[in-house]
Chain A
Amino acid sequence: MQTDQPAEVQAAALGSARTHCPYCALQCGMSVEATQGAVTVAPREFPTNGGGLCQKGWTSAALLDSPARLTTPLVRERGQLHPAGWDEALDTVAARLGRIGAEHGADAVGVFGGGGLTNEKCYALGKFARVALGTANIDYNGRFCMSSAAAAGTRAFGMDRGMPFPVTDLADADAILLAGANPVETMPPFAQHLSGASGCEGLVVVDPRRTPTAARANLHLQPAPGTDLALALGILHAAVAEGHLDTEYVRTRTDEFDPAWQQAASWWPERVERITGVAAADQRRAAAMLSGARNAYVLTARGTEQHADGTDTVSGWINLALALGLPGRAGSGYGCLTGQGNGQGGREHGQKSDQLPGYRRIDDAASREHVARQWGIAPDELPGAGPSAYELLDALGTEHGVKALLVFGSNVAVSAPGADRVTNRLAELDFLAVADIVLSETAAMADVVFPVTQWAEEDGTMTNLEGRVLLRRKAVDPPAGVRSDLEVLGGLATRLGRPPEAFPCEPQRVFDELRRVSAGGVADYSGITYERLRDGVALHWPVPDTDHPGTPRPFLDRFAHPDGRARFVPVTYSGPAEETDEDYPLLATTGRLLAHYQSGAQTRNVDELMAVDGEMFVEVHPDTARRFDLSDGEAATVTSRRGTVHAVVRCVASMRMDTVFLPFHFPDDNRANLVTSTALDPVSGMPEFKVCAVRLGRHRGTGRQASARQEVA
């Protein structure tokens, strides 16, 4: 690795720490060993990863001493970011936020968080916004991730816990339907949990692309992008019409089947085939595979959720699972695969605009009362619900929007839909402060940047995709000059006149407060302690007291609605927000690659990962490429009504001819989100990342002539 100015990594006197990967929601167990300034990572046996790690996990230590690491606060002067002292940086931010709040009202200051932050940070961020700033304007990038599944899960089951069962339960299934999930590529060790089903010829994968996951499927359903809901309705129709409805379960454990069926009745498989391109016979086969199984699961992920009808689409899949009697039955179920490291915990503790800690609703009087009392303020001092992420970002710097923004753990300049527009909005702010470990594209626009600690440099809890709370342990001291996000928030809160004890900086103290505040909520963490986690107790929330063993399978006896029954939700298909036409004849869909994580701010700084996928590309069917006069390896432009992204053509014969694929990890002109649609789901606020209309063109810049990879036989 090139080390211009290596940030000094100091081995904390901890030896080897049992911790978890810094990236995705599988939170693979790993041990981090620090010796003489060198830090190594090794996989560790843990149920989610079974002792495996993907390449991101294996190379994660590279980020600790990356030359890209920020080690001093930066403050903008005369247009340039300059190194500054901590006091100067904190004073500047507190003063600017204070002044803007005083001049324009508390809601003129906004906060944007992230699903990679620890529970402690998410909690502190929500409290900071509501108590220290008094603003309603706080939301986080999980809106771009989990919000549709969360809304649909809550509608159906009364509670949203991504997977309401331990992931190891999947091994016992003889059929699994994965809708819009590509775990073989994005969280590879997860794939071992699918081998039971694929061994029984029971793995069904729904994906417009033939991903590595789809390639392993026994049945790959390849719908046109944006038509997932129609497909879910078609399979439900087939299941009912072929006599697979579990009438006893529907009668005893659910409500509202009839209205849901009345919608699905109009989506017979042959009709759905015309919309999706998925053969009616294959829809029937999928229904038969799931219903014929001893144990079966329906799992969804972003591919099916990131749509303007994402919430309804997830409801469509949940309806299917309910019709087959899967949820809340030992060995079967519905679950959603969380993507971000703390995507689950991140949505439970109050950094979401409509929520308070413990997965409480901010518009519920009793919840407000409880939380306000814990925070030592009056309930009416607590702000109400604010706008969702994209709405917040889209209004930045406008008359009705926030004028100053604090960003923690998110790189919205790359990850938000219609990225160009969001970048312009960021530029309109009076003031922007960003806390990050590297100078992300968003941080580079800030007035003040705080360098903060990362995973192996601090303690903190994460809640993984199965709702299990994990303790990440500190393995090394952070580089000199770096502080934790909690310290940043504490420093700002005291400068804004809050008592220091209201914003403690030690993770464990913050967690203890979170436990108290979450007590009695849906996501009750009160019985979870650092000690129990250190002892390795498997604690899936809710855990209402310290003797409670946790709740790995919350729905076995009853669902979380007051009457204990699940709800079908009547949904119908109306199609994506944007259709193709003569000018934009192709559909673009976006997604992740194995070697990168989210906006790539972290992984683009790891050489080994950049060697695998170091440049932006667009996957195109060879015939489609030819139609646009392009060939493999050529530089192309992909243009939608919102913008143009530059990418190198990769011809992939398994692509649908009407579809191109763009990974969203790359910056600047290579941001996939320059083209994505800004249509939002009316229930969840989820943007439509997964389908928009585009055309291909030739990029007149430098083209890459041949594939860099060598053929060695």
Chain B
Amino acid sequence: MNATARRPRKVVIAGYGMAGARLAENIRARDPRGERLSVTVVGAERHAAYNRVLLSSVVAGTLPRDAVTLHPESWAAEHDVTLRVGATVRGIDTAARTVSVHDPGGGPTALDYDALVLAQGSSPWIPPVDGLVHEDGSLAPGVCAFRTLDDCEEIAGRARAGTPVAVLGGGLLGIEAARGLAGRGCRVTVVHPHSHVMERQLDRGAGDVLAGTLAGYGIEFRTGTTAARYVPGDGVKLDDGGYVPADLVVVSAGVRPETGLAASAGLAVDRGILVDDCMRTSDPRVHAIGDCAQHPGTPPGLVQPAWDQAGVLADLLTGADSAGRYRGTAAVTRLKASGVDLASFGDVGSEPDSPEAEVVCLNDPARGRYAKLVLRDDLVTGGVLLGVPDAAANVAHHYTHRTPAPADRLAFLLGRALPEEAVRAPSPASMPGSVTVCECNNVPKSGLVDAWRRGARSVAGLAEATRATTGCGSCTGLVRGIADWLESTE
């Protein structure tokens, strides 16, 4: 760096999760030599950043824990980033522009910042169930949350074939955990307070079909009831008097954005830390991104918004694009559960008799299929697609990109699930004369018919007269079929 260059501005990132790690990467992609910004990342977990989204695969046992790390150990040093893992930001002094950091085993140290970024994610909400937590707030033996790599290792360590497991909460994460554990051979029961699972993303019909599909994998459901008491080594007693045996209890009852630190520093918080399109909090030198941030028009708890926000904030902090703004992300929820294909997005509550929207709905519980499409002015505004994977991909793509839906709504909704007759090839007799039989030599059926009438009365003769079959040869069967048909009509 030359002597006249300005001292790089100090950026402190609190949180080395998916958002914090991505922000550090994005900053270094735009300022590779650290000329504009110095970067310190403080992360409370004792690991290098990892991909939280893939934790369901770790629980299911399909990915080893090493496979989910986002950065190799050497990453920070190679990218001129100061990294403090296992350390926690405990306080912010917005006037002095310092944070106090607690390293593992050490006392608090103060760190100056020019810009502070809160990327603290969210933490699992532990419902008030007797016996679930000790006096000191730690979880009772056999109880695990489902948020961190450590949680997953503990779950995986306790989950043996035949182990009875209670999953508290049948939301997206609870279902993913349940499916993964069922795949390991555990006897899984999901306890869910609402009348159908994943009620935030699914309407009743879809929730019921989903529960049916999961029942096929041996998962049991107790809906409309909550856990009342946990007895270690025994199981969970329910509000409705029921009982679920459990050697392992996985708590997936929802998450709460981490707002405590921000609130105690006087920053405006609601459900999450309030931010504008520049990811600024109520203090212009403090930013928040990811699960802990609350941005109007952004659904909570998904990684794509977190990454989009990290990109915009890196543009702003480095000056790579000072006009960059984050305008929200259209969210599509996809369940990652082996053998179950579910997508949900936008307005899923409208019913076919809705006066405002056009709603197409198909319910096929016997085959585990449920599909609902909600449209306004030809644009997809919502959908639930269960058991129709290719249609789900296509409909969600139209939703995300705001491309008008095809006129044939049913074909759109069904994708490859369309009845086979609709796409089956016609017979030699019924196919139109203009259909190309030999692609290699552009020979239409009518060309073969003409050649036949002029005297080419065999496959070889037709080949000689028209060149059909002399390219790749794959139409030989069809040419023979046409020859047979012509012969039969003589």
CB contact under 8 A between A279 and B432, given known A53-B470, A195-B474, A271-B304: no
Nearest chain B CB to A224 CB, angstrom units:
7
* Cβ–Cβ < 8 Å partners of A242 in chain B: 62
Asked if B440 and A274 make an inter-chain contact with CB atoms under 8 angstroms apart, the answer reads no
Asked if A713 and B393 make an inter-chain contact with CB atoms under 8 angstroms apart, the answer reads no
* Cβ–Cβ < 8 Å partners of B394 in chain A: 277, 279
* Cβ–Cβ < 8 Å partners of A298 in chain B: none
* Cβ–Cβ < 8 Å partners of B467 in chain A: 55, 58
A-facing mask of B132-170, CB < 8 A → 1, else 0?
000000000000000000000000000000000000000
- Say if the beta carbon of B406 comes within 8 Å of chain A: yes
Asked if B406 and A621 make an inter-chain contact with CB atoms under 8 angstroms apart, the answer reads yes
Q: Which residue in chain B gives the minimum CB-CB distance to A55?
A: B441
Interface residues of B in 101-151 (CB under 8 A from A): none
Contact-size category for A: 35 or more
Asked if A188 and B336 make an inter-chain contact with CB atoms under 8 angstroms apart, the answer reads no
Q: Please, how many angstroms separate the alpha-carbon atoms of A240 and B474 in the complex?
A: 35
Partner of B72, one of A58, A262, A711, A712: A262
Q: Please, how many angstroms separate the alpha-carbon atoms of A192 and B332 in the complex?
A: 42
Nearest chain B CB to A156 CB, angstrom units:
21
Q: Please, how many angstroms separate the alpha-carbon atoms of A50 and B63 in the complex?
A: 45
- Say if the beta carbon of B392 comes within 8 Å of chain A: yes
Q: Please, how many angstroms separate the alpha-carbon atoms of A54 and B403 in the complex?
A: 38
Partner of A184, one of B392, B445, B470, B472: B472
Asked if A280 and B474 make an inter-chain contact with CB atoms under 8 angstroms apart, the answer reads no
Asked if A712 and B393 make an inter-chain contact with CB atoms under 8 angstroms apart, the answer reads no
CB contact under 8 A between A188 and B70, given known A277-B393, A658-B401: no
Asked if B407 and A279 make an inter-chain contact with CB atoms under 8 angstroms apart, the answer reads no
Asked if A623 and B406 make an inter-chain contact with CB atoms under 8 angstroms apart, the answer reads yes
Q: Which residue in chain B gives the minimum CB-CB distance to A264?
A: B67
- Say if the beta carbon of A265 comes within 8 Å of chain B: yes
Q: Please, how many angstroms separate the alpha-carbon atoms of A191 and B449 in the complex?
A: 25
- Say if the beta carbon of B233 comes within 8 Å of chain A: no
Nearest chain B CB to A292 CB, angstrom units:
16
Nearest chain B CB to A20 CB, angstrom units:
16
B71, B389, B392, most chain A CB atoms within 10 A: B389
Q: Which residue in chain A gives the minimum CB-CB distance to B469?
A: A52
- Say if the beta carbon of B90 comes within 8 Å of chain A: no
Asked if B70 and A266 make an inter-chain contact with CB atoms under 8 angstroms apart, the answer reads yes
Q: Which residue in chain B gives the minimum CB-CB distance to A237?
A: B54
- Say if the beta carbon of A241 comes within 8 Å of chain B: yes
Asked if A265 and B439 make an inter-chain contact with CB atoms under 8 angstroms apart, the answer reads no
CB contact under 8 A between A594 and B53, given known A265-B67, A711-B432: no
Asked if A268 and B336 make an inter-chain contact with CB atoms under 8 angstroms apart, the answer reads yes
Nearest chain B CB to A220 CB, angstrom units:
10
CB contact under 8 A between A274 and B396, given known A52-B473, A58-B441: yes
Partner of B397, one of A191, A265, A277: A277
- Say if the beta carbon of B33 comes within 8 Å of chain A: no
Asked if A184 and B54 make an inter-chain contact with CB atoms under 8 angstroms apart, the answer reads no
* B-to-A contact residues, CB < 8 Å: 51, 53-54, 57, 62-63, 67-72, 304, 332, 334, 336, 341, 389-390, 392-394, 396-398, 400-401, 403-404, 406-407, 432-434, 439-442, 444-446, 449, 467, 470-474
In the complex, besides A268-B54, A710-B433, 7 extra interface pairs with C-beta distance below 8 angstroms are A241-B63, A258-B72, A265-B67, A274-B332, A279-B390, A658-B401, A712-B433
Q: List 10 A-B contacts (CB under 8 A).
A: A58-B441, A184-B439, A188-B441, A189-B440, A258-B72, A262-B69, A580-B401, A709-B434, A712-B434, A712-B444
* A-to-B contact residues, CB < 8 Å: 43, 50-55, 58, 184-185, 188-192, 195, 212, 216, 224, 240-243, 258-259, 261-262, 265-266, 268, 270-271, 273-274, 276-282, 580, 594-595, 612, 621, 623, 626-627, 657-658, 709-713
Q: Which 10 pairs, one residue from A and one from B, show the smallest C-beta to C-beta distance? A: A712-B433, A188-B440, A281-B389, A191-B472, A712-B446, A277-B397, A279-B393, A270-B334, A188-B471, A279-B389
